[in-house]
Structure 1
Amino acid sequence: MPPPTQDDAGPINILITGAAGLVGTQLAARLLSAPQYRVLLTDLADPAVPAGVAFPEHAAVLRGDVASPAFVAELLAHPAVQPLHAVFLFHGIMSAAAERDYPLSLRVNVDSVRLIAERLCEVHPGVRVVWGAKVPEGWTPTPQSTYGAHKLMTEVYLNEVHRRGGLDVFVVRFPTISVRPGKPTGAASSFLSGIIREPMNGVECVVPLRDRGFRAFLTAPSTVVENLMRVLRMDSGALPSHMRQIMFPGISVSVQELMDALAKYGGEDKLRFVREEVDEGLERILRSWAVDYDITTPLRLGLTVDQSADDIASPLWGLVERIYALPHPPPPRRRTRPMQVLCVGLPRTGTESLQQALLHLGYEHTYHGWDVVYDADTGAGYAPGWVALARRKWYAAGFNGDGGGAGGGGKGNANGKARITAEDFDELLGHCVAVTDAAASVFAAEMIAAYPEAKVVLNMRRDLDAWERSLRNTLVHANESWGFWIASWLDRECFWAWHVYERFLWPLLFRAPDGDMARAIRGNARWIQQEHCNMIRGLVPKHRLLEWYIEDGWEPLCKFLGKPVPDVEFPHANAVNGGWKAREEQCNKRWVERAFVNLILLVMAAIASIVVAKIYLF
């Protein structure tokens, strides 16, 4: 079972092994920033309480060998964590080091985990155990290294322990973590952090292959910690009893892209510290790893993902959002009537037609994607709030500022809370009784949980070819608009329109971390549609769910909602030359006009600065 929630009485007691390592240290820092956690840190090296945490007095440390039965007995009986609620097992011998010393890897990566698990079953049965693995997701495991073989052995063992009811196990599969602070490790992947970390410190990094196109599946340390916090609170039933693996999301990044990020943020001169020298042993290990993974399941379960190599190397977007903060952000909304209908189908599945139909049936107001950036009263005023919720859903709410809108950027994340509640949504759409399009599809799982009494419509298209063409004609069309992008840097409201849709909602929904919507739609749209529909069917009881196609018209919709069938034709508001086109032209006209005025002012200011400089400086 999951540990007690923050609202339950008493502290939450957690043990972390391998606590002197990167993940253990950063997770401890996160836990000790909130008052409800008590943490016991252990490692073969001296573990230390992370500096700067809010509650250092809530930590205890114990040095020892977790492969020793006597030490394990002492550890699990430690008074600092009684009763024990959760265990994070992060100790291990990494890939290259494991290859050099097979007996040590077997003792640490296999035997010690079995020893701890057996003792836990005796003294803390049913406790949650989170173990860090490195086995490919969705692949037939064929390890080509000692480390991989031993991790697979342990993973199979822990699955069986959970199936038999001994412990509540989650096997979390880590991508390569980059950029790791500190010194190089014994892992074959160490250079994937060193390629940025060492040159930034004026130290050489050796890349063990001469292939800049080589790709690795990476994630940032802060993202790993955020996802561990989410797994800590995850319902045990989220995974089948015999398949406890969950792949942490990441992004596929090439050596060249990492070098580009180094040059961009460190300067071209830093590239001289990168030396490529083939190490056949390390290259063999590296090339045995998958370069990308399907992260649909972890995202569906609520885990978060980095966006690009730039996100791993730089947190500059927080500053950009502050610069473009709206001068008069609207106040948070409050719910005045219950939420009644959630239309959670993906975009271009009759969302605006559904909005018009629901308005005709008396559901005033029905929120549509256009309301995100073209609200009748506030324009894009609430777009920063949707950015904040998207960041909370997919990232670690990594920036403190939210750009000045409602919706609270990262609210609750200081103590690990990632769940989006009805209160959060109400700040943005409290005036609405129904939702369609972007908000409902992107946040479908969260809205279904937040509004358990609302009826759910899963709107779909039967002709998937036509659906894909429609996505290309709209989402891709906007994504590839240079005029839209340029205007977004010259007008605050246009910035947020671009930011919320082209950097967050659509790229994250269609798995386009690099922002290339054309490629994402081409490669991902159909399986995302299938996964999305299956998720909705699994989340919503049949009596609350209507599967509806635009061709179905009024009758099934009205029957489901308990409304009489209107004596008018069903609306088709989102035809290519209909409502969508009119809205696009209306938005563009306003944003471009203001951007043009701002451009003129910028040019005049630049000319004035040059004139003043010539007068007084030359």
Structure 2
Amino acid sequence: MTGDVDMLKVIGAGLPRTGTTSTKAALERLGFDPCYHMAEVMTHPDHVDRWLSVAAGEVKTREDWSRVFAGYQATQDWPASHYWRELADAFPEAKIVLTVRDPRKWYPSVRMLLSGENRPDLSAELPADLPEAVRQIFASMERMRPAMDQIGQAYFGSDWHFGGDMVDEDAAVAVFERHVAAVKEGVPEQRLLVFDVREGWEPLCAFLGVDVPAGEPFPHLNDAESMRQAFERMQEGDMSAFPFGEPGH
């Protein structure tokens, strides 16, 4: 497929750590490429300004959102998935994919990601010998903090801040379940796929009207342990695992 800079074709509505990296890889393999993901923000510093504008309420129309996602055909993960309602309205032709998983298993994974457990402190002074590519990623994420705070507070409360600890497990599971219910209620059934990556190619391909790749396993990427190891290697200047696309287990 050829990219259409004016129209998203697939909108991800799933929370982080619900198989969004695997689904991004799958969508790109199916021709919906490139697919926007948090990794794009980390590697394109100019994208931070786009999201600060979104957070400031300056992005409202289809034309505005088209500029945010210029060159992309699909989205997954925060920050994009937080705005699933706005994107669904702006691109009524697009289909919505809500990635899900067992919320009790989701909790420790998303807590590790958002709270900074086993992750560098983005606000700390960076080592002088840190490679420029790694320094750029950390700088981008630190600049994203106002936008990420705004997104996280919509789910976890006004006291939450990016890099701070999560709410407790029961409260987080309730957040997860409310989000899933809101998407199901807010999107017509024929336009929505509730998708667990363990289901593999078949439901995703059927929903999107494309063929299942013959003889190819569905990508299973970015498990929690791989992510932790990737952060550690990044701190040492090894970028080989970025953007955390190692196979999961």
TM-score tier after normalising by the smaller chain length:
0.7 to 0.9
1:352 aligns with: 21
The SS at the match of 2:223 is: coil
User: Deviation of residue 576 (structure 1)?
Assistant: 2.6
1:320 aligns with: none
Q: In the superposition, relative to structure 1, how do residues 362 and 492 fare at CA in structure 2: closer, same or farther (>3 Å)?
A: closer
1:568 aligns with: 216
Q: Any stretches of 5+ residues in structure 2 without a counterpart?
A: 129-134, 240-249
> Is it true that 1:431 corresponds to 2:75 in the alignment?
no
1:529-608 equivalent positions in 2, closer than 5 A: 529-566=176-213, 567-578=215-226, 581-582=229-230, 585-586=233-234, 589=237
> Is it true that 1:339 corresponds to 2:8 in the alignment?
yes
Q: Is the 8 A contact 2:119 2:232 kept in 1?
A: no
CA distance in 2, matches of 1:344, 1:533: 9
1:389 aligns with: 54
* Structure with greater contact order relative to length (CA < 8 Å, sep ≥ 6): 2
> Is it true that 1:470 corresponds to 2:109 in the alignment?
yes
Comparing both structures, which one devotes a greater share of its residues to strand? 1
User: Deviation of residue 577 (structure 1)?
Assistant: 4.1
Q: In the superposition, relative to structure 1, how do residues 577 and 388 fare at CA in structure 2: closer, same or farther (>3 Å)?
A: same
**AA partner of residue 568 (structure 1):** E
CA deviation string 1:255-283 (max 9, x = no partner): xxxxxxxxxxxxxxxxxxxxxxxxxxxxx
Q: In the superposition, relative to structure 1, how do residues 575 and 480 fare at CA in structure 2: closer, same or farther (>3 Å)?
A: closer
**AA partner of residue 144 (structure 2):** V
**AA partner of residue 448 (structure 1):** A
2:144 aligns with: 500
Q: Is the 8 A contact 1:345 1:460 kept in 2?
A: yes
CA distance in 2, matches of 1:431, 1:504: 26
Q: In the superposition, relative to structure 1, how do residues 492 and 351 fare at CA in structure 2: closer, same or farther (>3 Å)?
A: closer
Q: In the superposition, relative to structure 1, how do residues 537 and 433 fare at CA in structure 2: closer, same or farther (>3 Å)?
A: same
The SS at the match of 2:206 is: helix
Q: Is the 8 A contact 2:20 2:77 kept in 1?
A: yes
User: Deviation of residue 506 (structure 1)?
Assistant: 3.3
CA deviation string 1:269-301 (max 9, x = no partner): xxxxxxxxxxxxxxxxxxxxxxxxxxxxxxxxx
CA distance in 1, matches of 2:168, 2:236: 24
Q: Is the 8 A contact 1:369 1:438 kept in 2?
A: yes
RMSD: 3.0
Count of residue pairs brought into register by the alignment:
226
Q: In the superposition, relative to structure 1, how do residues 450 and 585 fare at CA in structure 2: closer, same or farther (>3 Å)?
A: farther
Larger CA Rg, structure 1 vs 2: 1
Q: In the superposition, relative to structure 1, how do residues 585 and 430 fare at CA in structure 2: closer, same or farther (>3 Å)?
A: farther
The SS at the match of 1:520 is: coil
Q: In the superposition, relative to structure 1, how do residues 569 and 451 fare at CA in structure 2: closer, same or farther (>3 Å)?
A: same
1:317-336 equivalent positions in 2, closer than 5 A: 336=5
User: Deviation of residue 542 (structure 1)?
Assistant: 1.0
2:156 aligns with: 510
Identity over aligned pairs, percent: 29
CA distance in 2, matches of 1:382, 1:583: 21
CA distance in 1, matches of 2:210, 2:47: 31
User: Deviation of residue 344 (structure 1)?
Assistant: 0.7
1:449-488 equivalent positions in 2, closer than 5 A: 449-461=89-101, 463-477=102-116, 481-482=120-121, 484-487=122-125
The SS at the match of 2:165 is: helix
User: Deviation of residue 455 (structure 1)?
Assistant: 0.5
The SS at the match of 1:338 is: coil
Task: Give the alignment partner of residue 443 of structure 1, picking from 76, 83, 87.
Answer: 83
CA distance in 1, matches of 2:227, 2:160: 30
TM-score by length of 1: 0.34
Q: Any stretches of 5+ residues in structure 1 without a counterpart?
A: 1-333, 393-409, 412-419, 592-618
CA distance in 1, matches of 2:31, 2:54: 28
User: Deviation of residue 370 (structure 1)?
Assistant: 1.1
TM-score by length of 2: 0.78
Task: Give the alignment partner of residue 369 of structure 1, picking from 38, 43, 54.
Answer: 38
Q: Is the 8 A contact 1:558 1:564 kept in 2?
A: yes
CA distance in 2, matches of 1:580, 1:362: 30
CA distance in 2, matches of 1:584, 1:431: 32
User: Deviation of residue 445 (structure 1)?
Assistant: 1.2
CA distance in 2, matches of 1:587, 1:505: 26
**AA partner of residue 157 (structure 2):** R
CA distance in 2, matches of 1:340, 1:559: 15
